[in-house]
Chain A
């Protein structure tokens, strides 16, 4: 089960980010100020968690969710994305909160995007025993990735696949995680 307190903290962080982005958005061309196009993505996510640096015999498979809010065309094909995700597995909980630039373009009826993200990762490891112990750590996260979408209607797209490499520094180690997500994109605002 997702940690409610963590989710609440992430929500607060998203709110802070939106507030902090307001001045930047106000500097955009007048045409874009009216109603910037926004995309809300939500869906399933798989994380190949690099648990070997933490002393585990092999890497771990985590399942969870991924969501993002994107303003894809702040300046032509350049936009901004806020990305959050949570993944869970045996003894692990892993959350990411990242923000960064995204480039989006169309290709033969598909939308293709690539982005660079920077933010924070929170990892929690459960050590089983008579008195289970949870080790939690908040650290830096950097991601590069991209994906492909197929438009289903003017307001809805299907994100076929999104792949990100997330380099996170938590629990005293650096992990190189691979995240694969899929889901739906809801589009609103715009012209």
Chain B
């Protein structure tokens, strides 16, 4: 009787205990423990994931993907957000509704990371295509592709509400598309693909007003498709989808003006549509959609000139690249969105050599993804 009782109780507790123990995932010791949130616009919704800092694994946030009706009168017709951005406070997120010419504001559930929309939406110019926020979250900049303007909004830090500032929208060059606030927050750079140029603006501190930098727009020539800025804000890298190259431009730290770096142009794969400077500032990656691969380079810290990373092999994963970014918290991972297949490719980064390795963590978003934002 005694043995039976002990065995019974022990077995039950052991079963309960063992069953509750989740398997621990492999992790990198270089990354801080914890996780951050990723928001991906895809189809008629925003997919939300929690990404483990160490393993890089994606876990879908409960309720994801989040879809929002175009209007209350048509509850089954949803917006198709084309870009997403998260306020540095991690309390709010914003999505561009290109077809509706407006911006959605979302409150982020502090526990789960789930999104709930805060109405009303904020109007933009015609066909808003890209947005970028200052590091402090004071201002949000939006390119209006068809009205050739840039809308600037001040952000209420308490509610997340957007208010268009005086003087906005600001005139821009032809068809402004990709937009990026420089790391220092002093300058704003805008790609004008149909002008084969990049426009630069000085951002008035505290006011958010834009003043074109002398010499802007800076003609790049060829067919610029994407650009990236190094964390130290010394160089900009621009891909040319016709010439299949990437080139470096130095950034004047005082004026924000761009100057081509001689001998910096280097071959990429075919149709380089995305470029990324690793958060360490040491490596450069280019996603080539026609050759379905990623080109890997090392950067000369003094001249900014890229050189093919001799350690790397051709790695597949650039097909339909709709975005390319890396986890700036640890730098351990690079993510490439596929506008074709509805998947996100994840690549682990060797922080010493810069070499990328494909992981099996990349999640599916169902529909083709077109933008992604990772919180820090």
What residues of A have a CB within 8 angstroms of the CB of B50 in the complex?
Answer: 55-57
Q: Which of A14-22, A93-101, A103-111, A151-159 contacts B (4 or more CB under 8 A)?
A: A103-111
Using CB atoms, name the residue of chain A closest to B114: A127
Using CB atoms, name the residue of chain A closest to B63: A135
Nearest chain B CB to A137's CB is how many angstroms away? 9
A129 touches B109 (CB 8 A): yes
Chain A contributes a number of interface residues (CB within 8 A of B) equal to 45
Count CB-based A-B contacts (< 8 Å).
128
* Of B6, B12, B49, B109, the contact of A163 (CB 8 Å cutoff): B12
Chain B 6-28 per-residue mask, 1 if CB under 8 angstroms from chain A, else 0: 10110111011101101000000
- Residues facing A in B58-104 (CB within 8 A) are 59-64
What residues of B have a CB within 8 angstroms of the CB of A148 in the complex?
Answer: 9
B116 touches A106 (CB 8 A): no
What residues of A have a CB within 8 angstroms of the CB of B64 in the complex?
Answer: 55
A114-B12, A129-B107, A144-B16 known; A54 vs B5 contact (CB < 8 Å):
no
What residues of B have a CB within 8 angstroms of the CB of A187 in the complex?
Answer: none
A56 touches B112 (CB 8 A): yes
A105 touches B16 (CB 8 A): no
A119 contacts chain B at the CB level, 8 A cutoff: no
B8 touches A105 (CB 8 A): yes
A114 touches B11 (CB 8 A): yes
Interface-central residue, B1, B64, B114, by most chain A CB under 10 Å: B114
B118 touches A130 (CB 8 A): yes
B20 touches A55 (CB 8 A): no
Using CB atoms, name the residue of chain B closest to A145: B16
A53 contacts chain B at the CB level, 8 A cutoff: yes
A55 touches B112 (CB 8 A): yes
A103 touches B20 (CB 8 A): no
What residues of A have a CB within 8 angstroms of the CB of B11 in the complex?
Answer: 114, 146
B206 contacts chain A at the CB level, 8 A cutoff: no
A128 touches B110 (CB 8 A): yes
A114-B9, A165-B15, A167-B19 known; A52 vs B59 contact (CB < 8 Å):
yes
B357 contacts chain A at the CB level, 8 A cutoff: no
A176 touches B20 (CB 8 A): yes
What residues of A have a CB within 8 angstroms of the CB of B34 in the complex?
Answer: 57
* Of A48, A91, A108, the contact of B20 (CB 8 Å cutoff): A48
A32 contacts chain B at the CB level, 8 A cutoff: no
A171 contacts chain B at the CB level, 8 A cutoff: yes
- Residues facing A in B86-144 (CB within 8 A) are 106-107, 109-119
Nearest chain A CB to B244's CB is how many angstroms away? 39
Q: Contact residue range for chain B?
A: 35 or more
Nearest chain A CB to B31's CB is how many angstroms away? 15
A55 touches B1 (CB 8 A): no
In angstroms, Cα B48 to Cα A77, docked, is: 50
A106-B5, A125-B63, A163-B12 known; A56 vs B111 contact (CB < 8 Å):
yes
What residues of A have a CB within 8 angstroms of the CB of B107 in the complex?
Answer: 128-130
- Residues facing B in A145-191 (CB within 8 A) are 145-148, 163-165, 167, 171-173, 176-178
A128 touches B109 (CB 8 A): yes
A55-B61, A91-B111, A114-B9 known; A131 vs B15 contact (CB < 8 Å):
no
A138 contacts chain B at the CB level, 8 A cutoff: no
B13 touches A105 (CB 8 A): no
Interface-central residue, A112, A113, A167, by most chain B CB under 10 Å: A112
What residues of B have a CB within 8 angstroms of the CB of A114 in the complex?
Answer: 8-9, 11-12
B112 touches A144 (CB 8 A): no
Describe A's contact surface by its main secondary structure.
strand
In angstroms, Cα B59 to Cα A50, docked, is: 13
- Residues facing B in A121-136 (CB within 8 A) are 125, 127-133, 135
A105 touches B1 (CB 8 A): yes
B12 touches A145 (CB 8 A): yes
A90 contacts chain B at the CB level, 8 A cutoff: yes
* Of A48, A106, A128, A177, the contact of B1 (CB 8 Å cutoff): A106
A125 touches B62 (CB 8 A): yes
What residues of A have a CB within 8 angstroms of the CB of B216 in the complex?
Answer: none
A57-B34, A107-B2, A127-B116 known; A165 vs B111 contact (CB < 8 Å):
no
B111 touches A129 (CB 8 A): no
A125-B112, A128-B109, A145-B16 known; A54 vs B62 contact (CB < 8 Å):
yes
Using CB atoms, name the residue of chain B closest to A170: B62
What residues of B have a CB within 8 angstroms of the CB of A51 in the complex?
Answer: 112
What residues of B have a CB within 8 angstroms of the CB of A57 in the complex?
Answer: 34-35, 50
Using CB atoms, name the residue of chain A closest to B13: A163
B62 touches A135 (CB 8 A): yes
| Given A107-B2, A130-B116, 18 additional A-B pairs, CB 8 A | A55-B49, A55-B112, A56-B111, A56-B113, A91-B109, A91-B111, A106-B5, A107-B5, A114-B12, A125-B63, A125-B112, A127-B109, A133-B116, A135-B62, A144-B16, A146-B8, A146-B12, A178-B16
Interface residues of B (CB under 8 A from A): 1-2, 4-6, 8-9, 11-13, 15-17, 19-20, 22, 34-35, 48-50, 59-64, 106-107, 109-119
Identify 15 residue pairs between A and B in the complex whose beta-carbon atoms are under 8 Å apart, listed by A's number. A54-B59, A55-B48, A55-B49, A108-B2, A128-B110, A128-B116, A130-B119, A133-B114, A145-B16, A146-B8, A146-B16, A163-B12, A165-B16, A165-B19, A173-B62
